[in-house]
């Protein structure tokens, strides 16, 4: 099992494929398994660096204060551990916060930047919402019901209406051996709630792609579009139809095609 033993944390990671490195950073409460539908196709073009953030998956979950800056430091330390001087970054949700922080503080390490369903801050509504989900866990709500409710914030109407798939997804998570602990969820929520990069976006010099799910009700388009407004090298956001907050799962083919179209002038 590949574990990077860094100065203050042990992180689980995986490397897939060859080519220019692409560091893939996951959302709140997610780990490496979230990328399962796109690994095969993307690894034909890039060396994928997948990592479980602290507080999730098979990485350590210290019961101390977390911050997005700390997550960014973890990511840079992992790249150093792997002897990678530069990489493309792909960040989803909270992973987009981490990717922004890396691009702001370590511009020399970033080739190109892809920001999926993220924004330069977490809204007050979302911070309250996450704490409600934390309270539901603490009050020992039925786990299947918790997942089902959480998914209504993540997926599109079309996806939610595929009852067979949604049931399978819930069962997968109920049986997943590396499920996030309440401590990890709580600490990640705290980190997300404190992040705000709006005054720092002009420091991002990497060419940036902003991808938005048309039906995303968690990260609203008007919040995500502030990335385009603040990052000089950002292209106008691409809206993906019939998708909500987790585009790479709902429409992996379009998601991969969109990324390749940005990172390459043509599809290889």
pLDDT value for 268: 41
Q: Which of 107, 116, 122, 108 is nearest to 24 (CA)?
A: 116
Please tell me whether the overall predicted TM-score, pTM, comes out greater than 0.75 for this model: yes
Backbone dihedral angles phi then psi of residue 259, each to the nearest 5 degrees = -65, -45
- Separation between Cα atoms, residue 228 and residue 236, nearest integer Å: 6
Residues 117-166: tens digit of each pLDDT:
999 999 999 999 999 999 999 999 999 999 999 999 999 999 999 999 99
Q: Are 261 and 236 in contact (CB under 8 A)?
A: no
Tell me the HSE value of 133 on the side-chain side, using a 13 A CA sphere: 25
Q: Which of 76, 78, 71 is nearest to 96 (CA)?
A: 71
E strands, 122-245, are: 207-213, 238-240
- 44: domain CATH number is 3.40.50.1820
Task: For residue 120, tell me if it sits in a domain.
Answer: yes
Task: For residue 127, tell me if it sits in a domain.
Answer: yes
- Separation between Cα atoms, residue 115 and residue 233, nearest integer Å: 13
Per the structure, the complete domain to which residue 233 belongs is given by: 3-263
E strands, 78-132, are: 87-92, 110-116
Q: Which of 251, 268, 248 is nearest to 39 (CA)?
A: 248
Residues 220-261: tens digit of each pLDDT:
999 999 999 999 999 999 999 999 999 999 999 999 999 999
Task: For residue 85, tell me if it sits in a domain.
Answer: yes
Strand (E) or helix (H) holding 99: helix 94-105
Task: For residue 80, tell me if it sits in a domain.
Answer: yes
pLDDT value for 267: 38
Residues 212-228: tens digit of each pLDDT:
999 999 999 999 999 99
Task: For residue 268, tell me if it sits in a domain.
Answer: no
pLDDT at 101 over 80: yes
Q: Which of 116, 112, 110 is nearest to 213 (CA)?
A: 116
Strand (E) or helix (H) holding 48: strand 46-51
Q: Are 210 and 235 in contact (CB under 8 A)?
A: yes
Residues 51-90: tens digit of each pLDDT:
999 999 999 999 999 999 999 999 999 999 999 999 999 9
Residues 4-37: tens digit of each pLDDT:
999 899 999 999 999 999 999 999 999 999 999 9
Task: For residue 160, tell me if it sits in a domain.
Answer: yes
- Both structure tokens of 120: 């330069």
Strand (E) or helix (H) holding 193: helix 182-194
* Number of structural domains in the chain: 1
- Separation between Cα atoms, residue 251 and residue 223, nearest integer Å: 22
| Secondary structure (DSSP) of 206-242 | SEEEEEEETT-SSS-HHHHHHHHHH-TTBPPPEEETT
């Amino acid at each position: 099992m590949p574990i990077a033993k860094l100065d203050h944390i042990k992180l689980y990671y995986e490397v897939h494929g060859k080519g220019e490195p692409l560091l893939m950073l996951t959302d709140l409460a997610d780990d490496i398994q979230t990328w399962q539908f796109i690994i095969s196709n993307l690894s034909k073009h890039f060396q994928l660096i997948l990592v479980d953030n602290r507080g999730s998956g098979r990485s350590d979950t210290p019961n101390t204060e977390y911050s997005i800056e700390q997550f960014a430091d973890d990511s840079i330390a992992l790249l150093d551990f792997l002897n990678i001087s530069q990489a493309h970054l792909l960040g989803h949700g909270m992973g987009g916060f981490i990717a922004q922080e890396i691009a702001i503080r370590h511009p020399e390490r970033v080739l190109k930047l892809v920001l999926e369903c993220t924004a330069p801050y977490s809204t007050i509504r979302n911070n309250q919402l996450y704490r409600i989900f934390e309270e539901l866990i603490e009050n020992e709500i039925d786990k299947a019901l918790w997942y089902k409710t959480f998914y209504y914030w993540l997926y599109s109407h079309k996806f939610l209406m595929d009852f067979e798939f949604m049931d399978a997804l819930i069962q997968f998570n109920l049986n997943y051996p590396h499920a996030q602990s309440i401590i990890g969820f709580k600490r990640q929520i705290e980190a997300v709630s404190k992040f705000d990069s709006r005054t720092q976006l002009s420091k991002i010099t990497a060419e940036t792609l902003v991808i938005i799910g048309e039906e995303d009700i968690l990260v609203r388009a008007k919040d995500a579009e502030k990335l385009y407004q603040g990052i000089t090298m950002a292209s106008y956001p691409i809206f993906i139809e019939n998708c909500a907050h987790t585009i790479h799962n709902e429409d992996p083919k379009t998601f991969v095609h969109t990324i390749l179209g940005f990172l390459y002038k043509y599809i290889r």
